[in-house]
Structure 1
Amino acid sequence: KLRDDSKATGSGPYKLDSYEAGKEAVFSVNGDYQGSAEIRNSGMTMKFFGDEPALKKAVEDGSVDLAYRGLDSADIASLQSSSIAGDTGIQVVEGTGAEVQHLVFNVEDPVVGNKAVRRAVAYLIDRKAFIRDVYQRTASPLYSIVPAGITGHNTAFFDRYGEGGDKAGAQAALSQAGITDKVSFTLWATPVRFGPGTVAELKAIAKQLNDSGLFDVDVKTTDADQYAKDIEAGKYAVYVRGWVPDYPDPDNFTAPFFGDGNVLGNNYVNKKITDELLPRTAAEAGRAATSTDFEDLQNAVADDVPIIPLWQGKQYVVSRDNINGLEWTLDPSTVFRFWEIQKGVTE
């Protein structure tokens, strides 16, 4: 029976008891739950924090039992080192993630609309360097738009452009297109929306490009609302875009990026992708059978370079050391399984 009011009927392991905007949401176990999950706790309170330092402090002083997302890479690295030393009462649990970040090119821009320019950038970006220096190794280099751990993943950008820092490859790409002067454009970011390290990351990328002697690139930022409006209006040549999947399937890392109304707004058109590959993969019930088509799609993106994959995030949970079961909550599905968590149990 369909409801005829504005309320919802939930069938999950928990029910929402109370919610205070910007502060907390309180959940208890759903006594009517009939699913397969074995619930290992009596409920939870989800607290909301407006900044990373406050969240880190809350974990350290025991105000919260655990933190999932919201901590920047420097804090995670610091807490991980302290945890290894065994002097904080805190543990850091690492798992594979599926969050990704891409550098996006407006292919109608008079500068980066030239495929040779985009390919030259692809030859030069050294992912390992900024993942080490900016993200403290809390992410992994990504060389295709479908991340590792997802059906059909390949390394199309690595296979074509290498691991970065290839000035000779970049120079050859530009020379073949008759480009002899330095190439100038701006890298645009919004400081918070796609992670606190985004601006520092783009500054590192700009330095890599400029140090080659082939580019003259700067970095600018704006707030998230203006950023979205300007992308829609086509004002940016190059900008960053993060993506957290709704489900762990290659379709969710590809279909939203191509065709009319796509989330990138970069004016890229590829009829083979939108008219052949994506419809065919969407119609295939056996997801393993889609691998070849998704590999073809990734290779086409590496050839045209409308976007450059940058990194694939790792997932981290920072908790007090009396919290168990966290290792079962982190995988590329991005579903955090609260019901697996136990408090006050010694393993």
Structure 2
Amino acid sequence: MHNFLRMSKAAGGRFDLVQAGGGNSSFKPTPSTMLIKASGTSLSDMTTGSGYVEVFLPPLLELLEDQTLAQLERRERDQKVAQRLGAAMTTVDAPARPSIETLMHAMLGTYVLHTHPIAVTTVACHPSWRNILASSWPEAMLVPYCTPGLDLALAMRQAREAAAPKAHSTEVFFLQNHGLIVAGEKVEELQKITDRISFQLEAVAGLDLSLYRLAGRVAESITNLGGEPVICQVCRDKEILDIVARRPELLIKRPIFPDQLVYNGICATEVPDLDDTAPLQDYTERFGKTPCVVLHVGHVFLIAPNIRKCQDMESVLKAHLMALESLGPEAQCLCDEELAYLGDYELEKYRKKL
């Protein structure tokens, strides 16, 4: 379960891999059940006990074999499938509906990661997408565009049946005008392949997405410190970046109003080298909480449980920095007692950590 959630959040927090509520993931804990992202949920929102639905696999696999569906008009067929996906025979005490792409997850490996990497989508929308992707990743299966749902699942099954036998268990599918699917038995392998494909196709598409990969590394480093998996967003707000360029020291100023502490912590942490996690570990040991804001070679990264929280953090950080720059040396920070109270610190321990 932990690996499933970590994989989901790691992909969901990367703009270069997933945008908005796109993409989905799944995990089969038993031969007859599957956990899959809930419909309407973002990958970055998934946490222990929420954001996914447990489904029974046998009814889903039977649905893939139902020949009567092929005789229906497309919209009616999709409605029938949606009804079956939400039926009690399919879901296990689910308050939410499973993803519309549940069927293609059902027929694949233990772990499935479906993303919309910008580099992959760019190439998959090119008129010569087949030739480009076949030469870039020969082992992948190429699936012509189909509406997400039953049509896509059947097209993937057809591509799979037509493909030559694979030497390993990990499967890769390129979906025309859509995205990427990687399925297999090891989460780490799925993540590595997704990253390698995206990186390889960046050059083909003429893109530079390196900053978003850096954000992924920051998130991974902080998640490795312990606790629930987190995501990391690159700050793109021009006013924030302009202030930081002029006055980078303002990022490590103590909060001057409560929301700055609540949303962004005591202060930012500067990490000159992402291979050296000592600054992150030091902050965590000093304050008992992982950093919320990281400064790395002039770039500002926001760390939180999900993207929406990062967006809130960014707005509060901008207000804080604007006020600090305007006040200059006259800025009056919150006192130790208030910071300790709002941050749920023991006062004497807090003072020793400053």
TMscore range, shorter length: under 0.3
Of structures 1 and 2, the one with the larger relative CO (CA 8 A, separation 6+) is 1
Q: More strand per residue: 1 or 2?
A: 1
Q: TM-score, normalised by structure 2?
A: 0.24
